[in-house]
Structure formats: C-alpha cells, structure tokens
C-alpha cells in the first residue's frame, strides 16, 4: 500500500519526500486556506518544489462538467505539471466530467465515495482513483473498513484498474486496517504518519544500545 501525505505543510512534505516514503500528496481548498496559499496554482507549484517526484492530487471543483473540466485544464496549463491527479467530488456532474477528462488523458480521483454502487460507477468511467472515506463513514455508524474491503474485493473480481485510496484517516489503526483490507493507497495526515514511526519497544531498544555504546 502506497503512502500519500494529506497536508500541504511544505516542511513536512519535504521531510517525508526526502526520506523516500511518499508516493504523493493530497490537497484540498480547506488545506490551502489553512496554510495561506493564494490559490491552487501557487499551492501546486510550492508542493512540487519540495516534492520533486510523486503525484499531487488537487481539487478541480465546479457546479457542472464545464466548470470542473475548465478548472482542471486551467490548473494543468498553468503548472505544466504532468503528475497531477484531479480530485472531483462524486456526483452526476463529477462523473460526466471525469469521463470527459479521461478521454483527454487527464488523471482523476473521484472522492467523497461511500458505497459500492458509487465505486462501480467510478470504475466504469475508468477513474484512476476513488477515495472511500473511513473516518466520516465511521462517524455515522457504518463499518467503514469493511466497506473498503468490499470495494477492493469487488474491484478484484471485475478486474477493475481503478485504485482504492483510503482517506479520512483518523488514527494509525485505520492505516493498518486499510492495508489489511487491500487498499492500494492511503492518504494520511501528518500527525498520524508521525505516530506510525513510534513504538515503545523501539525507543527502549534504541536507548539501551546508545547507553551501551556510550559506555564502551
């Protein structure tokens, strides 16, 4: 399962990109506002400066297919970045725009996916990714991990090429369960990725080795 970072904190992106563990970054307008980015063009260019390799998933929002496709084209034309994936909220307009963008060889990620029916529709228009949300679905009393597992199994049985990106990750256990469920990708908030590095036995072992080395 590949790791994406769900942040546009440039220092954190650079740290993990330099470490070599990132396949990409997911962004959204809320994050852009939080980190005082002027617009999606500035955001995309600044992320690319600190992450030379990897996909940048950027929102192409709109109220209809024409607006969505226009925003995707505007971002790609302005950045000339060949490793962009356009995030598009699932809806009839979103599905129509993904179908049109795929015919133009744009990469797409249909997000706000909550059901197998939605996943089936996304697969039929060859979206590169879907983003089933885990935390948000758990919040309303559903088994979100089992939903991811069911989508993954359904895709395998139908030979779908659409990748399942586990999103709305709230804790390290969500990451573990997404991996077990067979998700191709997880997009992980920075604080959760930091927690994944830690284990008390690792820290105890490190401190012991350091103490023994210092005593030589």
Half-sphere exposure of 34 (CA within 13 A, CB side): 9
**Which residues are within 8 A (CB) of 108 and not within 5 positions of it... i.e. 6 or more apart?**
85, 86, 87, 88, 98, 101, 102, 127, 128, 129
- Angle of helix 144-157 relative to helix 116-124, nearest 10 degrees, comes to 40
User: Quick check: is 87 catalytic?
Assistant: yes
- Catalytic annotation, pick one of 14, 87, 102, 211: 87
Burial pattern 108-137, b for ≥16 Cβ within 10 A else e, equals: bbbbbbbeeebbebbbebebbbbbbbbeeb
Catalogue the active-site residues. Answer: 87
């Amino acid at each position: 399962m590949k790791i994406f970072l769900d942040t546009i904190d440039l220092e954190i992106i650079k740290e993990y990109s330099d470490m070599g563990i990132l396949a990409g970054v997911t962004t959204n307008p809320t994050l852009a506002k939080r980190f005082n980015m002027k617009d999606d063009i500035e955001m995309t260019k600044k992320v690319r400066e600190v992450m030379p390799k990897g996909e940048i998933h950027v929102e192409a929002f709109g109220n209809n297919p024409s607006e969505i496709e226009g925003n995707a084209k505007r971002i790609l034309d302005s950045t000339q970045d060949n490793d962009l994936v356009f995030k598009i909220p699932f809806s009839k307009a979103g599905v129509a725009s993904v179908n049109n963008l795929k015919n133009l060889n744009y990469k797409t990620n249909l997000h706000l996916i909550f059901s197998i029916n939605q996943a089936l529709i996304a697969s039929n228009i060859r979206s590169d990714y879907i983003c089933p949300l885990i935390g948000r679905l758990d919040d309303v009393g559903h088994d979100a991990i089992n939903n991811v597992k069911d989508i993954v199994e359904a895709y395998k049985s139908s030979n779908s090429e659409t990748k399942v990106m586990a999103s709305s990750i709230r804790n390290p256990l969500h990451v573990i369960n997404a991996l077990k469920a067979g998700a191709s990708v997880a997009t992980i908030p920075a604080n959760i990725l930091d927690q994944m590095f830690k284990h008390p036995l690792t820290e105890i072992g490190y401190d012991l080795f350091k103490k023994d080395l210092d005593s030589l």
